[in-house]
C-alpha cells in the first residue's frame, strides 16, 4: 500500500503500488528497466526451488484444493517446530492478518497500531469499522522501539495489537524485553486481553521468533510469510502460529480455498527446503552492508536495518520527493512517505541485486 491512503467523507480510499507498466508509461522508461525498490521483495526467484519440487509437478487442477491444506500446514509446522494444529494458512500474510481482524476485531472495536508500521494494519482495522489507536514509536534514539509508557495503558481499550517484528518500514528489531512486557500486561487483563499479533514477515533475517511464547500467552499470534526470505511473493502464502484454541477460532473464519493448489504445492516444497531461504538471506545481508555503505558515501543516511530493506534519511520532505522523482525517471521505484507521515524526509529502499543497487547509487549523483 502506498502512503496515499486517505479518508474522503466516510469512505477510506486506498491506493496500491502502481504496476511496472504504469511507472514505465509515466516516466518514459521501458517496463523491463523498472526495478522495484518499494516492495521489499527479492531480486530473483529462489535458486534450487525446482529441485525442491521432488518428482513431477502435477497437482490435480480439476479438483478444488484440499480445504484443510494438510500438506502445506504440515510443512509449515515442521519448519516452525510446532504441531499442525497450531498453524493456520492463508493467501499471503495479508490474508492471515485479514482472518485475524475478522476473528478478533468487532465493528466499533479498537486496535492498537504502533506507528510508523506496516500500512495494512490500519487498512484492516478500518475495513472492520473499528478504531485504530495510533501510538507513536520511540524515535531514532530509541531505535524505533515500542513506547510502552504510552502503549500499555491503552491495552484494555483494544481487541487487537498489531506489531511487526522486525518492523516495516523502520527495518528495526524489537527488544524481547518490550515484547514480554507487552504480553505480560495483556495477560494481566485475563479474558479481556487483546490478541497480540506479532507479524514476523522478516523473521528469517534475524532468526529470532516469539513462537515459543505461545504456550504461555494464548493471545499471542505469530504471522509469517513466504514473500520475503523465501522470495516467493508471487505464490501468496502466509501462515499464523498460535495456541491450538486460538488457531481453532481463526480456522472458523478462514476461507476454504483461497490458496490455489499450485501455490500450496510450491509453498510446501519451499518450506521443506529452507536452505533456499537461508542462502537468499545470506546474500541479501551481505549486499545490505555494501548498499548501505554506498548510499552513505553518496550522502544519504541509512538507518540500521535487520531486514532486506533500508530506511534512508534524505533531508526535508521536498528533498525526499525530489530524490524519488530522480530515481523514478530512471525506472527505479522507491517507497515514499506523504507529507503528514513522520518519515516524510525518508525513502525506503529494498536491497536488490548488486547491479540493481549500483544503478540506484549512480542515479543519486546523476
Ligand atoms: C510486516 C509485513 N507483513 C506482511 C506483509 C505482506 O506479506 P504477504 O506478501 O505474505 O501478504 C509485508 C509485506 O511487505 C510486511 O512488510
Hey, which CATH number is domain 6-46+276-365, 3.30.70.1560, 1.10.150.120, 3.90.1150.10, 3.40.50.970? 3.90.1150.10
Q: What is the mean pLDDT of residues 104-108?
A: 96
Q: What is the DSSP string of 274-292?
A: THHHHHHHHHHHHHHHHHH
Inter-residue contact 247 to 87 (CB < 8 Å): yes
Q: What is the mean pLDDT of residues 69-92?
A: 98
Residue nearest to atom 12 of ligand 1 (CA): 201
pLDDT in the model for residue 10: 44
pLDDT in the model for residue 60: 85
Residues with CB under 6 A from ligand 1: 40, 92-94, 118, 164, 168, 199, 201, 225, 227, 233, 238
Hey, which CATH number is domain 55-273, 1.20.120.420, 3.40.50.261, 3.40.640.10, 1.10.3720.10? 3.40.640.10
Give the confidence band of 54 by pLDDT, cuts at 50, 70, 90: low
Give CA–CA dist 32/282, Å, rounded: 27
Q: What is the mean pLDDT of residues 44-66?
A: 80
Q: Residue 335 gets which letter from DSSP?
A: B
Asked if pLDDT for residue 59 goes beyond 90, the answer is: no
Q: Can you tell me which atom of ligand 1 is nearest the CA of 227?
A: 9
Q: How far is CA 194 from CA 112, 115, 157, 189, in A?
A: 9, 18, 9, 8
Give me the sign of the Cα torsion angle 334, 335, 340, 341. Answer: negative
Q: What is the mean pLDDT of residues 111-136?
A: 97
- pLDDT tens digits for 296-314? 999 999 999 999 999 999 9
- pLDDT tens digits for 235-274? 999 999 999 999 999 999 999 999 999 999 999 999 999 9
How far, in Å, is the centroid of ligand 1 from the Cα of 93? 6
Q: Which of 168, 266, 310 to mutate to test the pocket of ligand 1 (most atoms within 8 A of CB)?
A: 168
How far, in Å, is the centroid of ligand 1 from the Cα of 365? 32
Q: What is the mean pLDDT of residues 18-33?
A: 95
Residue nearest to atom 15 of ligand 1 (CA): 201
Asked if pLDDT for residue 163 goes beyond 60, the answer is: yes
Give CA–CA dist 242/336, Å, rounded: 34
Give the confidence band of 16 by pLDDT, cuts at 50, 70, 90: confident
Q: How far is CA 148 from CA 1, 180, 210, 267, in A?
A: 27, 11, 18, 37
How far, in Å, is the centroid of ligand 1 from the Cα of 254? 18
Question: Could you tell me how many residues make up the chain?
Answer: 366
Give CA–CA dist 38/214, Å, rounded: 32
Instruction: Rank 39-48, 49-58, 241-250 by mean pLDDT and report only the highest.
Output: 241-250
Smallest CA-to-CA distance from 171 within 333, 352, 348 is with 348
Give the confidence band of 46 by pLDDT, cuts at 50, 70, 90: confident
How far, in Å, is the centroid of ligand 1 from the Cα of 155? 24
Asked if pLDDT for residue 50 goes beyond 50, the answer is: yes
Give me the sign of the Cα torsion angle 59, 98, 180, 134. Answer: positive
How far, in Å, is the centroid of ligand 1 from the Cα of 296? 27
Location of each CATH 3.90.1150.10 domain in the chain: 6-46+276-365
Task: Work out the mean pLDDT of the chain and round it to a whole number.
Answer: 94
Residue 230 corresponds to which cell in the numbers above?
Answer: 523465501
pLDDT in the model for residue 2: 52
pTM to 2 decimal places: 0.95
Q: How far is CA 264 from CA 48, 70, 91, 236, in A?
A: 18, 10, 9, 9
Amino acid at each position: 500500500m502506498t502512503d496515499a491512503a486517505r479518508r474522503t467523507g466516510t469512505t477510506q480510499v486506498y491506493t496500491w503500488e502502481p504496476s511496472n507498466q504504469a511507472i514505465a508509461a509515466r516516466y518514459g522508461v521501458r517496463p523491463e528497466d523498472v526495478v522495484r525498490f518499494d516492495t521489499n521483495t527479492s531480486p530473483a526467484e529462489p535458486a534450487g526451488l525446482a529441485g525442491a519440487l521432488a518428482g513431477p509437478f502435477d497437482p490435480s487442477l480439476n479438483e478444488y484444493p484440499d480445504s484443510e491444506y494438510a500438506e502445506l500446514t504440515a510443512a509449515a509446522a515442521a519448519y516452525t517446530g510446532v504441531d499442525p494444529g497450531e498453524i493456520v494458512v492463508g493467501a499471503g500474510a495479508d490474508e492471515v492478518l485479514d482472518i485475524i481482524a475478522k476473528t478478533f476485531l468487532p465493528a466499533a472495536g479498537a486496535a492498537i497500531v504502533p506507528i510508523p508500521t506496516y500500512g495494512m494494519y490500519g487498512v484492516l482495522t478500518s475495513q472492520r469499522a473499528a478504531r485504530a489507536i495510533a501510538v507513536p514509536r520511540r524515535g531514532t534514539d530509541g531505535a524505533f522501539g515500542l513506547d510502552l509508557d504510552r502503549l500499555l495503558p491503552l491495552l484494555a481499550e483494544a481487541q487487537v495489537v498489531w506489531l511487526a517484528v522486525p518492523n516495516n518500514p523502520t527495518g528495526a528489531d524489537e527488544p524481547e524485553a518490550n515484547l514480554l512486557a507487552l504480553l505480560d500486561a495483556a495477560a494481566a487483563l485475563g479474558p479481556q486481553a487483546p490478541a497480540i499479533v506479532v507479524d514476523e514477515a522478516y523473521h528469517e533475517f534475524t532468526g529470532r521468533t516469539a513462537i515459543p511464547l505461545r504456550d504461555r500467552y494464548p493471545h499471542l499470534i505469530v504471522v509469517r510469510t513466504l514473500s520475503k526470505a523465501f522470495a516467493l511473493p508471487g505464490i501468496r502464502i502466509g501462515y499464523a502460529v498460535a495456541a491450538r484454541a486460538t488457531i481453532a477460532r481463526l480456522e472458523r473464519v478462514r476461507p476454504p480455498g483461497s490458496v490455489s493448489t499450485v501455490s500450496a504445492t510450491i509453498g510446501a516444497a519451499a518450506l521443506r527446503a529452507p536452505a533456499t531461504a537461508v542462502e537468499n538471506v545470506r546474500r541479501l545481508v551481505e549486499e545490505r552492508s555494501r548498499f548501505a555503505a554506498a548510499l552513505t558515501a553518496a550522502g544519504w543516511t541509512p538507518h540500521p536495518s535487520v531486514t532486506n530493506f533500508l530506511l534512508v534519511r534524505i533531508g526535508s520532505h521536498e528533498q525526499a520527493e525530489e530524490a524519488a522523482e530522480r530515481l523514478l525517471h530512471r525506472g527505479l521505484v522507491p517507497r515514499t512517505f506523504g507529507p503528514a507521515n513522520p518519515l516524510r524526509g525518508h525513502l525506503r529502499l529494498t536491497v536488490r541485486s548488486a547491479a540493481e543497487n549500483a544503478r540506484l547509487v549512480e542515479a543519486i549523483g546523476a
